[in-house]
Structure 1
């Protein structure tokens, strides 16, 4: 049980001995006896009886640190937060560096409505906690406090701490999604008020339309953004991406010019360089494509798009071993990269490695299905939101 591992971590051997002073042997003996019984009962997983023994310690030694801390922990995990809080508080007042106890105190305070105190205690220790589970619980509590008071930047900073230790925990990922979404919405609203006709505002609108898969609308807004401010960072690349995604062949033909403009403005734009490699590859100009991909990788050695593109060139030139090395590197960094799995499966077939090809094809299908499922979920959520908005308009 989590409570007992927590209690064992809190063991403070020697604390009781310090309390024994000359002339109070009987008190010290009583404390020692009750503590021994309490810890024995904890080993036997009998928390209710252990509570009574720790309470007996405090009856004769009111500020016994071991008893205060452990009694507070036991009462907390029994959800008796009002009773737990004063014991945890007393332990912290005696020994402020008990970070785990202070985290538990903060969570306890939140549950009894002492939000300001909870905030102070949790934010004081959340980045100091070493035990992953305690850090996670304390961090999620602090995120809820910050979110409730619309302190989104502070909430985001806690999310960053939690993601370092628990990058795949669904609770952390959901908190990240929620906070970052709220921050994006807040920033967009602020921008619409401060500069509604700015190039940045049109960029934001274009980004939203890209998410909605409204390519034509996105292109129109990127053009407005470019007209409003030709020096917007990244605007040529973003317009090129939208043009390249268009089903209109005339619009797609404009993408290459915008990618070249992006590189002309910023020679370190490896994404634009890699896209020029894609266009060259589509035309069958493998030498130019390879040159672009190598240029992109020189700028950003971990650029997955450039590595996958160069691997394709190697495969087409029958340099399969070089292609395998690049694709395996991409997959090692991002196991969910769908295109890398597909391309690697193709290369393995060329190398007459059917088992490896089958494994990569299965991985391709697995991650492709996951991404498609997520796209459908997002689409359903978006349609649901639109229907709710329409319903609200009708009701008004």
Structure 2
């Protein structure tokens, strides 16, 4: 990088130096990521930006790195600049949609998902992402269509099945929810959300022993999943294990406070 930067300091438009700087910077950043040093990767890409401020590929990598480090505003800025420089590159549009979704800028994210899918309609992951966004906006019919399109394009997956199951659970369509959770677990046996979903279904059916078994697995697989701890506390109370019930309900209450205001809503509220 030092060699290329010496050239770029003299001629900022030198094609070989620009190409070399981009290649070296992205390779070094990737090496740092693989070593678990996210900050070093960010510093490398930010440093290269000083010499390649108008390179859309570098800006794309920088935006992704910032997104992975939860620096959403800076990620959105880098990706928006990349789109301005390369408006026909759908990868930047998709990346910006994901950032905007996490920022809860839902209308902007939806526009960018639509733009990306117009260019790449067969991308199952993008259909899933748009479905999740629509689910967060409480537009279940549109979300359902996107999740099912994702499954049609890529049947061997888990998350779209899970989200469809969660939507059915929230609507108290229990018979529809159960096979969707089971299909999720067939490919991902430790999926905390699906394990919790089956536990909640068992709780609703007053099968409290089965509920406890499934919800315990869910809390092990996903220790921060507040709903699993909450329903586990309710199920333990039904089995007269008051001490364990109180412990789980306290964990659920602490997690609810900790997670308050985060983008992921707490779903599946308890029955009276």
Q: Choose 269-278 or 338-347, whichever is displaced more.
A: 338-347
Moved more, 351-360 or 363-372: 363-372
Q: Which residue of 1 aligns with 2:63?
A: 185
Report the alpha carbon displacement of residue 334 of structure 1 after superposing the two structures with TM: 3.2
Unaligned runs of 5+ in 2: 1-24, 46-60, 66-77, 264-272
Deviation, 1:180, is: 6.5
Larger RCO: 1 or 2 (CA < 8 Å, sep 6+): 2
Aligned partners of 2:101 and 2:120: how far apart in 1?
20
Structure 1 partner of 2:162? 274
User: TM-score scaled to structure 2, two decimals?
Assistant: 0.68
Q: Which residues of structure 1 form unaligned runs of 5+?
A: 1-147, 160-174, 377-396
1:236-279 deviation line (CA, Å, top 9, x unaligned) = 111100001115xxx33211111111111111221101111122
Of residues 288, 291, 294 in structure 1, which corresponds to 2:176? Answer: 288
Among 213, 217, 234, the alignment partner of 1:325 is 213
The answer to whether the Cα contact below 8 Å between 2:124 and 2:151 also exists between their aligned partners in 1 is no
- How far 1:191 moved relative to its partner? 5.8
356 and 156 in structure 1: CA distance in 2 versus 1, 3 angstrom threshold: same
In 2, the alpha carbon distance for the partners of 1:186 and 1:316 equals 42
Give the total of aligned pairs: 210
SS in 2 for 1:305: helix
1:351, CA displacement in angstroms? 2.1
Aligned to 1:222: 113
- Aligned runs of 1:1-20 on 2, under 5 Å? none
* C-alpha distance 149-279 of structure 1, shift in aligned 2 (>3 A): closer
Q: 1:302 to 1:350 in 2, by over 3 A?
A: same
Counterpart pick for 1:204 among 95, 105, 110 = 95
Q: Distance in 2 between matches of 1:186 and 1:277?
A: 30
Hey, what does 1:246 align to over in structure 2? 137
Task: Report the Cα distance in structure 2 between the residues aligned to 1:353 and 1:339, rounded to whole angstroms.
Answer: 19
Shift of 1:177: 6.2
Contact 1:237 1:258 in 2 (8 A): yes
The corresponding residue for 1:335 is 223
Indicate the RMSD between aligned Cα atoms, in angstroms. 2.9
- On the 8 A contact 1:311/1:326 being kept in 2, the answer is yes
| Cα contact 1:207–1:218 (8 A) shared by 2 | yes
2:42 and 2:164 map into 1 onto residues whose CA distance is 32
Q: Which whole-Å CA distance do the structure 2 matches of 1:350 and 1:269 have between them?
A: 35
Structure of higher CA gyration radius? 1
1:146-185 to 2 correspondences below 5 Å: 151-159=28-36, 175-176=37-38, 179=41, 184-185=62-63
Q: Distance in 1 between matches of 2:232 and 2:247?
A: 10
